[in-house]
Chain A
């Protein structure tokens, strides 16, 4: 059974940083791209970042709205992916989902809440 579990959310002050983690199991992690997608309260889905697998040289892609403030990384030995977000703003308040993909996002975690507030 595919399992995806995000951790690391919480309350952060504006200007602060946060590292989200996503632990996976139940599939061959090395075969998949991994992504972060976020959803602000009451709003729609926003793709944040993708990291491809070794076959694609671990290429990374970022949403233009966040580029420069986010870094996605993965550890294939731990079947885990991470998202570092810096210079946090109130508008970064959202549920952050970890998803796997080859093209479509076929499995999602339950999400982790990040709240940016003083």
Chain B
């Protein structure tokens, strides 16, 4: 199975800061990585597909980058509604896997 390692596990920030969340794959997966946001007691929501492709309805402050094994989700100027958990997921293998998540919390 392809293992996805997300870091940091927790990121404490103040609103207005810009942040980068990391997702590293155990083997090269081209750009077959997708990012999700999960707020407390809600279903996950797709933010970014194929590493950097935007999703309709998602604020433009969310962006993604990377290829191969290293991927980044960036949030430009964090807003209060962004405090939640972020997961990466790979679709390179038909045995899909998720990272363990990064919790974005209020400092």
Q: Do A and B come from one complex?
A: yes
Q: Which residues of A contact B (CB under 8 A)?
A: 35, 37, 44-47, 50, 61, 63-64, 97, 103-106, 108-111
Complex contacts, B97 vs chain A, CB 8 Å? 47
Q: What residues of A have a CB within 8 angstroms of the CB of B44 in the complex? A: 37, 45, 97, 105, 108
Given contacts A44-B101, A64-B1, A110-B43, contact A105 B36 (CB under 8 A): yes
The binding surface of chain A is classed by DSSP as strand
- Establish whether residues A105 and B89, one from each chain, have CB atoms under 8 Å apart when the complex forms: yes
A-B contact pairs, 8 of them (CB 8 A): A35-B96, A44-B85, A47-B97, A50-B94, A61-B96, A104-B34, A104-B89, A105-B34
Taking CB atoms and an 8 Å cut-off, the chain B residues in 28-52 that contact chain A are 32, 34, 36, 38, 43-46, 49-50
Name A63's closest neighbour in chain B (CB-CB): B95
In the complex, chain B residues whose CB is within 8 Å of the CB of A103: 32, 34, 49-50, 91
Among B43, B49, B101, the one with the most A-chain Cβ atoms within 10 Å of its Cβ is B43
> Closest CB-CB distance, A6 to chain B, in whole Å?
10
Report the Cα distance A94→B74, complex, angstroms. 30
Q: Tell me the complex Cα distance, A50–B96, Å.
A: 9
Bin the interface of chain B by size. 20 to 34
Identify the closest chain A residue to B49 (Cβ). Answer: A104
- Cβ-defined contact, B98 with A44, below 8 A: yes
CA distance A105 to B45 in the complex (A): 8
Knowing that A45-B44, A47-B98, A105-B44 touch, tell me 8 more A-B residue pairs with CB under 8 angstroms: A44-B99, A44-B101, A47-B97, A63-B95, A103-B91, A104-B91, A106-B46, A110-B43
Knowing A64-B1, A103-B34, A106-B46 are in contact, say whether A45-B94 is a contact too (CB < 8 A).
Answer: no
Does B11 sit at the interface, judged by CB under 8 A?
no
